[in-house]
Amino acid sequence: EAGVAQSPRYKIIEKRQSVAFWCNPISGHATLYWYQQILGQGPKLLIQFQNNGVVDDSQLPKDRFSAERLKGVDSTLKIQPAKLEDSAVYLCASSFNRAPSNEQFFGPGTRLTVL
């Protein structure tokens, strides 16, 4: 079974530029998550989707970050404009649904460096 796919794997941009990350969850998984993992820290949830609706975006910096999952399958996370402190690994995860008993499976992540 194919896992969670993410692209690109690496991205280097200058501050104030824009960047977008793409995620394709495991087939049939209704719930999709974006996490930010800063070096030396654990992942932090940015946004959670159930199908194409947002369940939790309480920790998403909405002045610069946006995410969508228009057809309830793949998702895009955008940063505009990027700041130095956005340098991190952006992890996408999916689960069958959002019931707490469901395991989340993580993709390989996109490593973003903002110069």
Partner 1 sequence: RKEVEQDPGPFNVPEGATVAFNCTYSNSASQSFFWYRQDCRKEPKLLMSVYSSGNEDGRFTAQLNRASQYISLLIRDSKLSDSATYLCVVKYGATNKLIFGTGTLLAVQP
Give the footprint of partner 1 on this chain (CB under 8 A): 31, 33, 40-45, 48, 55-56, 91, 95, 97-100, 102-104, 106-109, 111
Nearest approach, Cβ of residue 64 and partner 1 (Å): 22
Nearest approach, Cβ of residue 15 and partner 1 (Å): 24
**φ and ψ at 111, to 5 degrees?**
-90, 115
Kindly state the greatest CA–CA separation across the chain: 41
Residue 63 or 103 having the CB closest to partner 1: 103
Three-class SS of residue 99? coil
Query: From CA 48, how far away is CA 77, in angstroms rounded?
Result: 11
Nearest approach, Cβ of residue 89 and partner 1 (Å): 8
Nearest approach, Cβ of residue 22 and partner 1 (Å): 16
The contacts of residue 4 (CB under 8 Å, 6+ apart) are: 23, 24, 25, 26, 92, 93, 94, 105, 106, 107, 108
Kind plus residue range of the DSSP H or E element containing 49:
strand 44-50
